[in-house]
A and B are shown apart, each in its own frame.
Chain A
Amino acid sequence: MKGLLIKDFQLIFLNIRMLVALCIVSIFLTSSSTSSAAFVISYITIVFFMFVLTTISYDELDHSISFLFTLPVSRKTYVLEKYVFSLICGMVGLIFSTVICTVIGMIKNINLIGPDFIPVALTIYLMLLFIVAFMLPIQLKFGGDNGRIAIFLIFGIIVAAVYIGNKVLEHFHIYKADIIKFVQSLFTANTALIIPAFIILVLATLGISYGISLRIMERRTL
């Protein structure tokens, strides 16, 4: 797996100019509020997570993926590496965004790293892992470009399903506002449990996602 990780980091460094552009955009778009910190973290971490999907596109290009499996790499190692790489990339994104926030704070003489910085950063990291858990199997199934189309289609289907579900519930006099209120009451009653519960949810989703990705890769003809 070490070799695959090195390869993927090598591929990420191809986008070094994009990273520089990210830093410049971040500096221009921030103000002195905490929401600015959240923006910088999510903006930069999303880009780092997108790098993971980009490496799959690079692997697919010119059938390079077939060659990878002629090396001492099993399908299981390949899939596991993409998940490990996602976790590392997200973490690097978080560290990088923290550094950027600190630098921006020094340049603009503002304090972006407030007391709620860590919970905000952790929440964004977990949310993005949740999305990655959803996107990785699709990318592995459909490949780079087709994968992106598939993601748009699936998100479209989810939005449509939510809309239709909402209409159906309204028909039975169950309203969206009531559901939101119920969920909020759950959270306010158990504040201390929210983050651990979210971590467990994300880990479980990643586990299920890994299982699906592995099945996809094992069945795939290369």
Chain B
Amino acid sequence: MILEMKNVLKQYDNFKLDCSLSLEPGCVTGLIGQNGAGKSTTFKSILDLVHIDSGEINVFGKPHTALTNKDKQDLSIVLSDSGFSGYLTISKIIPVMSAMYDKFDKNDFAERCKRFGLPLDKQIKEFSTGMCAKLKVLVALSHDAKLLILDEPTAGLDVVARDEVLNMLRDYMEDESHGILISSHISTDLEGLCDDIYFICDGKIILHEDTDVLLSDYASLKVDEKQYDKLDKKYIISVLKESYGYRCLTAQKRFYLENYPGIIVEKGSIDDIIMLKVKGETL
């Protein structure tokens, strides 16, 4: 296990994080949730940027508080709201990274920056949102870390740049000892990249499932009042009232396709699942 969080609790005045998750080598695990759901707090707690009240976090089999600077060379984190000082340039970052990481390849890093259209001698504060996002990912990938923790790495990127970044992450995962924990608002990014996905809502993990299962077995059922009354609800996870009747989330798509040919069964998407889990009423 590269990363394990067991019953991690962090209490704020108006928010409580209560999270357990794990990440195996060779896996990409997604963490998805609304703004303020607890994704950034989860990420920050892994590196002890936020002190947890109770629970256990192990990174590379070690308690997260016992990670040495050497251990941290195998870890890369992209935070959504922070990075190198905006007053620095990429040229100035290079010697800093070189001094911090044994495996940092400065020529390769500079080459990749150029390939992604990032000027080496321009202050980072002058970069566009997309350029900042690309730089953060390039920095994270520059020193052959075993674990990448990426908080909204594709935020602000255009479609082409997003695809380039995702391809870089796929290349990175060709080494089976690597692992990625990633959060994103763009569910299609996660669908195409993640092996499994955790859904977080109000600081609690409300669902954990393999991406293949989510996409093959989950479905959104659209039914009117009559159909809803007749519906066998034993496989319904949650229900949301709509103008036409009800929208129901199920993890047994085939059961409803076979037994209720008259109802609309839409293939599960991450967006639908979030919507129904967060806004719907759990049965």
* Contact between B49 and A58, CB atoms less than 8 A apart: no
Task: Tell me, yes or no, whether A10 is within 8 Å of chain B by CB.
Answer: yes
B49 contacts A222, C-beta separation under 8 Å: yes
Question: Which residue of A7, A61, A72 contacts B72 across the interface (Cβ within 8 Å)?
Answer: A72
Question: How far is it, in angstroms, between the C-alpha of A222 and the C-alpha of B79 when the chains are bound?
Answer: 12
Q: Tell me the nearest residue of chain A to B10, going by C-beta.
A: A221
What band does the interface of chain B fall in when counting residues whose beta carbon is under 8 Å from A? 20 to 34
In the complex, whether B86 has a CB less than 8 A from a CB of chain A is yes
Instruction: Assess whether A10 is in contact with B96, with CB atoms less than 8 Å apart.
Output: yes
Tell me the residues in window 123-180 of chain A with beta carbons closer than 8 Å to chain B beta carbons.
none
Q: Which of A62, A71, A219 has the most CB of B within 10 A?
A: A71
- Residues of chain B contacted by A222 (CB below 8 angstroms): 44, 49-50
Q: Does A50 contact B (CB under 8 A)?
A: no
Q: Is A67 in contact with B83, judged by CB distance below 8 angstroms?
A: yes
Q: Is the interface of A mostly helix, strand, loop or mixed?
A: helix
Q: Which residue of chain B is the closest to A55 with respect to CB atoms?
A: B85
- Evaluate whether A63 and B96 lie within 8 angstroms (CB atoms) in the complex, with A72-B101, A73-B69 already known: no
Q: For residue B91, which residue of chain A has the nearest CB?
A: A10
- Indicate if B73 sits at the interface (CB-CB under 8 A): yes
Contact: A70 with B47, CB < 8 Å? yes
Q: How far is the CB of A51 from chain B (nearest CB, A)?
A: 13
Residues of chain A lying within 8 A (CB to CB) of residue B100: 2-3, 71-73
A64 interface residue, CB < 8 Å from B?
A: yes
Taking the complex as formed, is B226 at the interface, i.e. its CB lies under 8 A from any CB of chain A? no
Residues of B within 8 A of A33 (CB): none
Q: How far is the CA of A10 from the CA of B50 in the complex (A)?
A: 28
State whether B47 touches A74 (Cβ < 8 A): no
A-B contact count (CB 8 A): 83
The answer to whether A71 and B72 touch across the interface, beta carbons within 8 angstroms, is: yes
Determine whether B170 belongs to the interface, using a CB cutoff of 8 Å to chain A: no
- With a cutoff of 8 Å between Cβ atoms, the chain B residues found around residue A118 in the complex are none
Choice from A58, A64, A72 contacting B82 with Cβ under 8 Å: A64
User: Assuming the A-B contacts A66-B44, A222-B44, are A11 and B69 also in contact, with contact meaning beta carbons closer than 8 angstroms in the complex?
Assistant: no
Pair B99/A2 contact, Cβ less than 8 Å: yes
B88 touches A7 (CB 8 A): yes
B158 on the A face (CB < 8 A): no
Q: How far is the CA of A167 from the CA of B75 in the complex (A)?
A: 59
Tell me the B56-101 residues at the A interface (CB within 8 Å).
68-70, 72-73, 75-77, 79, 81-88, 92, 95-101
Question: Do A10 and B49 touch (CB < 8 A)?
Answer: no
* A70 contact from B79, B97, B101, Cβ within 8 A: B79
Q: Indicate whether A198 reaches chain B with its CB closer than 8 angstroms.
A: no
In-complex Cβ contact of A72 among B44, B69, B98 (8 A):
B69
Q: Cα distance A4–B95 when bound, in Å?
A: 10
Kindly list chain A residues whose C-beta atoms are within 8 Å of the C-beta of B84.
64, 67
* Nearest-Cβ distance from residue B76 to partner chain A, whole angstroms: 8
The interface residues of chain B lying within 8 Å CB-to-CB of A61 are: 85-87
Given A221-B49, A222-B50; A10-B88 close (CB under 8 Å): yes
**CB pair A72 B73 closer than 8 Å:** yes
Residue of B50, B73, B86, B87 with highest tally of chain A CB at under 10 A: B87
Taking the closest CB of chain A, its distance from the CB of B97, in whole angstroms, is 7
In the complex the two chains form, is B73's CB within 8 Å of A221's CB? no
Q: Does A189 contact B (CB under 8 A)?
A: no
Shortest beta-carbon distance, B252 to chain A, in Å?
A: 41
Please judge, given known A-B contacts A3-B96, A221-B51, A222-B44, whether A66 and B79 are in contact too, CB under 8 Å.
yes
Shortest beta-carbon distance, A70 to chain B, in Å? 4
Chain A neighbourhood of B76, CB < 8 A = 70
Provide 22 A-B residue pairs closer than 8 Å at the C-beta atoms, listed in order of the A residue: A2-B99, A3-B96, A3-B99, A6-B95, A6-B96, A10-B96, A11-B85, A11-B87, A62-B83, A63-B79, A64-B83, A64-B85, A66-B79, A67-B84, A70-B77, A71-B100, A72-B73, A72-B100, A74-B68, A77-B69, A219-B51, A221-B51
Interface positions of A (Cβ within 8 A of B): 2-4, 6-7, 10-11, 14, 58-59, 61-67, 69-74, 77, 219, 221-222
12 additional A-B pairs beyond A10-B92, A11-B85, A62-B82, beta carbons within 8 Å, are A3-B98, A3-B100, A10-B96, A62-B83, A63-B79, A64-B82, A65-B82, A70-B49, A70-B77, A71-B72, A221-B51, A222-B44
Nearest 8 pairs between A and B by C-beta?
A63-B82, A3-B100, A70-B77, A3-B99, A72-B69, A222-B49, A72-B72, A67-B82
